[in-house]
Amino acid sequence: MIGIILGTRPEIIKMSPVIRECERRNLDYFILHSGQHYSYEMDRVFFEELDLPDPEYSLDVGSGTHAGQTAKIMTGVEDVLMKESPDIVLVQGDTNTVMAGALTASKLHVQVGHIEAGLRSFNRWMPEEINRVLTDHISDHLFAPTETARKNLLAEGIEDPKICMTGNTVVDAVYQNLDISKRKVNVLKDLDLEPREYFLVTAHRQENVDNRARLKGILKGLEGVQKEFALPVVFPVHPRTEKRIQELGIGVDGLNLTKPFGFLEFLQLESQAKLVLTDSGGVQEETCILGVPCATMRYDTERPETLAVGSNILVGTESRRILEGVRSATTWKSGWKNPYGDGIAGKMIVMVCAAARSR
């Protein structure tokens, strides 16, 4: 039996190819949703949109301190794993759910497979970096998306036989879910937007939105982009970001602030944007795959491959640097090579899991 543990919307998206492959093979598996960012009820629409089965278990742990949230997840995961006795547990990425799920399974002597292993920003101030490192070092199967990720793992002393370079499930997810989106939604028509005639923005990271100077710099930079290019700047505002804007009393002028979109709508917006500005790791990957230039509002990234192929630029959070970066990135051609694989990562991961179960 395979246990799939997830807790945030990006994890649902990147696990979707693995879940579909388990379904296709008619394998014995279950999904556990921790509710780290939202309750399962809030995330139900993601499962419905992506044509995925409902989770068998929902913990609804909600927000909290890192320690408090991690403890709640571990307690809930332990109960489920003791009941189900899976052969292997799969986690994806770098959230508290990932670290809590992996640590709990490891202590119960259940094999752990870490999808997207080996990513490093080399910035230990980021809680995600700590989660990545700890999860990698207690995992039995490390599914590295790129050669860079594999080298990071080897440099930290992880044995080569544990590492399997699969490509990234985000490639599978983008291709599979973009096809679904074309059948279900037409968000550009709904928003009266023309392809390549708007900018798309996401901003949610704690180090950006909880820092008044950084958040103000981001918003002023976005306003500068809108004024210079005279194109819509579509900014679906994360609840955390919206709360901080209100608390810090920062004015916003000229931006098209919206409620968060469903993933299928967002994927369509990404695929047709002139350029995407973000502080999200997943969005850096998605834009690279889709051939859309990306300006990352951070000072480091655990996705260096996007910088290497020329799909992404780091612009920080100062308004001047953001505008300069956008000026540069809008001149790029989109012929870079996708470094994240050919869209069969989900199949490769499930094959390894099936072999692990038979041992």
Using alpha carbons, list the distances in angstroms from residue 175 to 54, 92, 187, 264.
22, 19, 18, 11
State how far the Cα of 326 lies from the Cα of 324, in Å rounded to an integer: 5
Instruction: Please choose, from the candidates 207, 199, 196, the residue with its C-alpha nearest in 3D space to the C-alpha of residue 225.
Output: 199
Centroid of chain to Cα 267: 13
Return the amino acid letter for 332. Answer: W
Return the amino acid letter for 92. Answer: Q
CB 315 within 8 A of CB 293: no
CB 141 within 8 A of CB 112: yes
Residue 256 phi, psi dihedral angles, 5° rounding: -90, 85
Please, what are the averages of pLDDT over each run of 10 residues along the chain (359 residues)? 94 96 97 86 85 95 90 98 98 97 98 97 91 98 97 98 96 94 93 97 90 94 97 91 86 89 93 97 95 97 95 98 98 93 96 77
DSSP result, 331-349 = T--S-PPPTT-SS-HHHHH
pLDDT given for residue 270 in this prediction: 97
DSSP 50: T
Which of 207-232 are b and which e, b meaning 16 or more Cβ less than 10 Å from the residue's Cβ? ebbebeebbbbbbbbbbbbbeebebb
pLDDT given for residue 357 in this prediction: 62
What domains, with CATH codes, occur in the chain? 2-168+342-358 (3.40.50.2000), 178-329 (3.40.50.2000)
CB 330 within 8 A of CB 275: yes
Return the amino acid letter for 198. Answer: Y
State how far the Cα of 209 lies from the Cα of 223, in Å rounded to an integer: 16
CB 302 within 8 A of CB 121: yes
- Which burial class, exposed, middle or buried, applies to 337 when counting CB atoms under 10 A from its CB (0-12, 13-18, 19+)? exposed
Residue 33 is a catalytic residue: no
pLDDT given for residue 187 in this prediction: 96
Q: What is the pLDDT of residues 305-355, one digit of tens each?
A: 999 999 999 999 999 999 999 999 999 988 999 999 999 999 999 999 988
DSSP 139: -
Using alpha carbons, list the distances in angstroms from residue 348 to 92, 144, 230, 256, 267.
15, 11, 45, 41, 24
pLDDT given for residue 355 in this prediction: 84
User: Which one from 66, 109, 114, 204 is the annotated catalytic residue?
Assistant: 204
Q: What are the tokens at 205?
A: 């990271």
The residues that bridge with 78 in the sheet, in sequence order, are none
What whole-number percentage of the chain has pLDDT above 70?
A: 99
CB 284 within 8 A of CB 121: no
> How do strand 163-165 and strand 141-144 relate by DSSP bridges?
parallel
Q: What is the pLDDT of residues 252-305, one digit of tens each?
A: 889 999 998 888 999 999 999 999 999 999 999 999 999 999 999 999 999 999
